Amino acid sequence: MPKHLLRISLFALLFALSTGSVFAQWVAQTSGTTATLRGVKAVSDQVVWACGASGVVLKTTDGGTTWAAMTPTLATATNYVVEALDATTAWVTGTVGGSADVSIWKTTNGGTSWLQQYNNPAGFGDGLRFFNANEGFYCGDPEPWPSTNWEIAVTSNGGTNWTRLPKTAFPPADSVAEEFGSATGCAIHKASGTAWFVSYYNQTTTNAPKIYKSTNKGNTWVSYNLTLPSGVAQSFPTFASQTHGVAVATNGDVVRTTDGGSTWTGITLAGKALRGVCYVPGHNAYVTVGSSGYSAYSKDNGATWTELTGGSGTIRTVDASTNYAWYVGNSGAIARLANSALPVELTSFTAVSAKGKVVLNWATATEMNNRGFEVQRKTDGAGEWAVVGFVNGRGTATTSNSYSYTDEFSGSGVVYYRLRQVDFDGQSAYSEAIEVSATPATFTLEQNFPNPFNPTTTISFEMPEAGFVTLKVMNLLGEEVATLISETRAAGRHTIDFNASNLSSGVYLYTVSSGIYTATKKLTLMK
């Protein structure tokens, strides 16, 4: 697909914040399997992976409307955790027959085939997380169990090689009865390189669970007590930032931290066996799920919780993209957390660039309490989003509406746009970003650089529209000494290197022509 015209499929982008609840209910999706699903990874609002028993790996690229079965990693394996970068690259970790003999598999072709990267016949895999395409960590139960020697391994090359950490890299388990809470008991904050995993003691002990923390991408660890109001239980953490996080437990406890895990306070949701928690950044909300179909969300860092509807059965874990959450469970259960009634539903978002302008068009299916859309832009390589405009919304509407905004952007190159939908009460949510290759407003020939030069220099020019282009170098007598370009070129910025090693020192002219446009500048060769 050309960069100058990037189209997002209908119903590919959904974002919402209403005047009432942040969410309404879970909506069941058709997974196509009856296997118990144990792991889920939401890469984006559209791309989600899931895994489970019998080597099952599933993937959706349309937000869960359809799920496709990938090639199994190993028919006898139970895949507990799936980690993914996009729709192509993913890892799973699991064990043969649900017992010891842990392995890590990786795919780089969307699940068509898998390569076994790691194997420990005596281990049990509990967590697998990557900070980027190369750096990640794996953690497993103390091995051999019972033991105080954690199985933790790190990689710096995408899993091609794994290095098991020495005992000196992390505090030992305090008791041989201690083990990881579950295969989903770890969390990371990618921007800071911080990671956490939770362990717990045998239910017959009174010792507090532990949360282990690394600030260097899993290479060294420290531990803190994870204080639970009701005592010992399996626990599951997630972090919204480097400092703020929430952990839930199978005894119904919900605890929160504001100092990166050093201290915890919390409440108990009586009678709720909680088995997972995630953070939904588009709503600034935490979502927790339980084994009995219970689920709830919090907008105040875990202090209070509002129950959700639509969940059922034994839920195993949950994960979130920017705006949505998915849970998986027994009998192939997958559900997506739907937005509240009458959300702002973005059904399309496109960008087209021509002659110094970028025209954005989008459409909504429904709207509720919608004040409008803040248009944001970021150039390629820039770190911050800039607000470039605002388009008023329709308030509350049950019919489709179309919007347009023209950005007078005079630059060239790759530009990114996103929408920030704002409610009248100030709440907001973001669309996913789209990219466009911006075209200049006018034909421009730049001065070569360096100048003077010896023997190579770079010549750049910008074209507002596509056309046949010639770029020639001549001496001061008007004699052609080199033809650098003689072909059709697309609109945009173009550069070419000129090697003058076969020419004598002196002043030369270079001329670029396309249609009615012609421009000439001087360059100086000094040998």
3-state secondary structure of 375: strand
Top-tier CATH class for 21-339: mainly beta
Omega within 30 of 0 (cis) for the link into 237: no
Q: How far is CA 420 from the centre of its chain?
A: 18
pLDDT score, position 178: 53
Give the Cα separation of 33 and 72 in Å (integer): 12
CATH architecture of 444-525: Sandwich (2.60)
The burial class, CB within 10 Å (0-12 / 13-18 / 19+), for 474 is: middle
DSSP code of residue 209: P
pLDDT score, position 2: 34
DSSP code of residue 169: G
pLDDT score, position 175: 55
Report domain extents, the chain: 21-339, 346-438, 444-525
144: left (phi over 0), alpha (psi -120 to 50) or beta: beta
State the sign of the Cα–Cα–Cα–Cα dihedral 153, 155, 159, 161. negative
Q: Say yes or no: do domains 21-339 and 444-525 share a fold.
A: no
- The CA-to-CA distance between both ends of the chain, in Å, stands at 45
421 Cβ neighbours under 8 A, 6+ residues apart? 15, 16, 17, 344, 346, 370, 372, 373, 374, 393, 428, 429, 430, 431
CB 32 within 8 A of CB 69: yes
3-state secondary structure of 330: helix
pLDDT score, position 12: 33
**Can you name the CATH fold of 346-438?**
Immunoglobulin-like (2.60.40)
Q: Which residues of the chain have pLDDT under 50?
A: 1-21, 176-177, 340-342
Give the Cα separation of 213 and 501 in Å (integer): 58
Distances (CA, A) of 171 to 132, 220, 225, 416: 26, 9, 12, 44
Give the Cα separation of 34 and 27 in Å (integer): 17
pLDDT score, position 101: 82
pLDDT score, position 356: 75
pLDDT score, position 18: 32
368 Cβ neighbours under 8 A, 6+ residues apart? 16, 18, 19, 340, 341, 342, 343, 344, 396
pLDDT score, position 199: 80
pLDDT score, position 1: 34
CB 403 within 8 A of CB 362: yes
Q: What angle do CA 374, 340, 251 make, to 5 degrees?
A: 115
pLDDT score, position 428: 78
Give the Cα separation of 334 and 327 in Å (integer): 6
pLDDT score, position 16: 37
Residue 236: count other Cβ atoms within 10 Å of its Cβ.
26
